[in-house]
Amino acid sequence: MKKLLALLLCAWMLVSVFAACGGREEKIALTRSYTFSGVSLKLPDGFTVTNKEEGYSVAANKETGDYVAFVKAEADHPENYTEEAVKSIYIEKYGDAIGETLRFEKRKIDGFDAFVVSGRYSDGKKDNNFISVSIFMSDKTATITYNGLSGTFDDAFARSVDGIRITK
């Protein structure tokens, strides 16, 4: 459990690596299919895979700084993750204010157990939205973290999460 939580935080910490711009979203198309370690999803227009390594990948929009991080970890069990435990990790790292916006949902993705954590935090300059999805498969755990630094892709990210499929 600690390894996955560390990976979740690692993906989440990428927020500090990318710069952001302002803007509001119109309906943005999800046209680019991307598969990472057996997990397939659609990326919003304007996103390019910028880093591809074993167990880790990033797709980013260079204009806005928004990005999607993909992390593959060892197989784990969803029973190890309670809402309280996951939320406490985020609150410990980012402060009480993030706790007010955190949402935790257990769900199934193509028959596999998963949980989705989403919320908003401020770095003092802007509000940043995120959605993190962890999918528990028999041979691995995949985590996809969408970081909406600009506010432009919030709806597109939510639609992308709903379209995640397992291709194994």
pLDDT value of residue 127:
80
pLDDT value of residue 94:
80
pLDDT value of residue 37:
93
Q: What is the mean pLDDT of each run of 10 residues along the chain (168 residues)?
A: 52 40 62 93 94 90 94 94 92 82 94 95 81 96 94 92 93
Residue 86: CB partners within 8 Å, gap ≥ 6?
A: 5, 8, 104, 115, 117
- For tokens 């435990």, the residue is 85
Distances (CA, A) of 78 to 46, 49, 105, 129: 33, 28, 12, 24
DSSP lists the bridge partners of residue 32 as: 43
- According to DSSP, the β-strands at 103-109 and 112-122 are antiparallel
Query: Rounded to two decimals, what is the model's pTM?
Result: 0.82
Residue 84: CB partners within 8 Å, gap ≥ 6?
A: none
Q: Please, what are the domains in the chain?
A: 2-166 (3.40.1000.10)
pLDDT value of residue 14:
40
